[in-house]
Structure 1
Amino acid sequence: MSEPTDVRPFVARNISLLALMQAIVGSNQAIIMAVGALTAASLAPDKSMATLPTTFMILGLALMAAPATKIIYALGRRNGFMLGASIGIIAGFIAGLAVYLGSFWLFAIALAVVGASAAFGQQIRFAIADSVPENIQAKAISWVLLGGVAAGFLGPRLSYITKDWVGDVEFTGSFLIIAVLSALGVLILSQTKLAPVRVKREEDPVGRTARELIRVPEIFIPLATGMATYALMTFVMVAAPLAMVHVCGHSPEAATTTIQWHIISMFLPSLFTGSIITRIGSHAVVGIGMLLMLGCALINLNGTSTLHFDIALILLGVGWNFGFIGSTTMLAKAYRPEEASTAQALNEPLVFGTMAIASISSGFLLENIGWESINVMVLPVATAALALLAWGDLRQRKAKRA
């Protein structure tokens, strides 16, 4: 089956419904980022293991990324996304049960299943990129990611409001609500009419293999910057609530509010990120994102008041938005249509595998070397990403002149 020649009937419907779905996926992840480590700290045998369940979520996402891509291409976008949301319903119930029973390892396994569900949702940005004309790809990705603004308000606030709703076990309700949101996601997805996936035919041109693609600078650079963007954001964000509550003595509500503003800042810039990319290019936008992450680390190194945390995490969120949308746009323009599934299946495990490493090391390093050291480690990674972007931009300029 070929892609429709006129995609205009799909565009408005795709953007609106997938933005709603992005809000659902984002809210589920926001709940875990807001209270996952705090919940695990009360269940874990050792506080240095507090970020381990959150890491399990990211590992579940990373390990399921490539299979989720293949399932979506096998079942079609709508059915694939609905399967992912259905997995989220089961995961939410298991997570709530684990907290109620006080089982640390069951909780970690449940969050891994939440991550597996999220792996399907992460394909939403590629679904919209493949369903609109190339000249509005960046804007379409940005508009869909605006659903994350709602997630920023909804996820952390729901986690706090519902934390005492089930018996006398704190945070049980916070994870049961994931099941409710996932069920709502299934209903939303059932109303979508997404452009069909590209099914490979014998007469189609043969695309490059994953090994060949990763050697191409136009592919390698967005892969690397995407990995750096997600790793740095996760590294600081996962440790921040623990640092606020257990190191700096701030309240859980203050930590939840900080994460809420962080998540809002991750997605609100999507209102204009696509337009900025159109004006100054993806390389420059990703570079600005890295500079903002450097600013986040410097502010965290300058103080530990709630205001320091708020401003730093807002910069981190905007930096992630620029880095993520810019890297996704760079990648989407670098592969040929017949290489879409290969490139996407290559990107997701690398990005989320790096994210998992950042998550687990964040909790361990916070417990053993402190909050300041975590922020110091941001500096060389962001600087290296800036250098890589500068090299890629220089290559492009030389190619244009040639």
Structure 2
Amino acid sequence: MARTWLSVTVELLGGRGEELWPWPGRIFAVGPSHTFMDLANAINDAFARWDRSHLSMFTLVDGRVITDKETGAELAGSIGGPVITAIDIATAKVARTLDPGSEFQFMFDLGDAWTHRCVIGEAKVDPLEELGIRPDSPLAYWGWGRIPDQYGRRWATDDGESRVPAKPREPHPMLLHAWPEQVSVPRLALSEMREAIAAADAARFLAALTGRDIDDTLQQVGAGIPMALEHRRQEAEPVALSVINRLTRRGCAGDHVLAEDLLASLRRVPLPCRVVPVDLDMLSTILEGDPDLSTGGYLDLHTGQVYDEAATDPMIVGQDTAIGVEDEPDRWLRLNRTGSGNGWQDMAAFADRQHEEALRERLERAIEGKGAFFRFREIVHDENLSEHWYAFSTDRQMGRAREYLADNGIHVG
């Protein structure tokens, strides 16, 4: 688009009997079809005038006045001062009335006399370059300074005489990115989400996430994102990006791996590694189970099936059922059981996630010394947190399983 719009600098000189300094200002892009009424509304918007029941009036350097018809007629018929020619503010076009370099005055509220100095820039502008859009009305694209309240109020009930209310001791939760409180957001219904994933129902999957707290279940949510992108890409793309950003911010084991995988799905590019359809829930059971019962198992790299090491013993499962890992060594990945050492870290992290201080301290005391797992689970059960704990711990276990696979050059497909 050609540079056909005016650039109008507006500075607020003062009002309510007070001169401002430095003058706060805004620079507006004003189109060829915009009227002075359009400009007045834009100025009042930019300078935070919420009560618009007052008059707006422009005065040009030659003494002409631009205002509403009724006020213009009153001014023209005045018995004092110079003879005034009034122009209708609703129909007069700024670009047809004034030239580049022109200086003029805008006044809002003739009682409080909010007075503005306006100057049209010598060079015209392209709104697409300055604003990125072609607005229907004049719009500010640059600004500076503090904007005073229209009536000088500093707080909602300021009567001009009362003392300033005491400042709260703590910042508002919104300033701390702690609003709304996490406890006020309903948690994700895992069963509903998993059923949607199993049914490849993208609409149901996305609906299950909407308005829910997913931050403790990102690994589980991530399992359904590729399916949602495949079936409902337009609706799923912002959700996928949100999950990627949340994974990156959380940074638990396996989160960066899943974030990279989801980003590849979002970009429609294949993963540059071996992809196997692994059940991470089952894999984490093998990896983090009781080492006294088993030392690990095997992953079938062809099918993604996970087997406990007992499946290799014909004496336990039978000759016809036992898997022969030695017959096809390249087909199998040995899974070494790591034990439950990470479980304590999960409990500590879960305790730290609790917003209620008393509950958080009880959980932290419970995981000290022997019997930590029993005491912790007892409190979780009594406080009706079992479902939340299951979702939280499962997610961390799945993340560790995902990272274990990535360390062996395998990503989950």
The structure that is helix-richer by fraction is: 1
Q: Which has the larger radius of gyration?
A: 2
Structure 1-normalised TM-score? 0.21
The structure that is strand-richer by fraction is: 2
Structure possessing the higher relative contact order (Cα contacts under 8 Å, 6 or more residues apart): 1
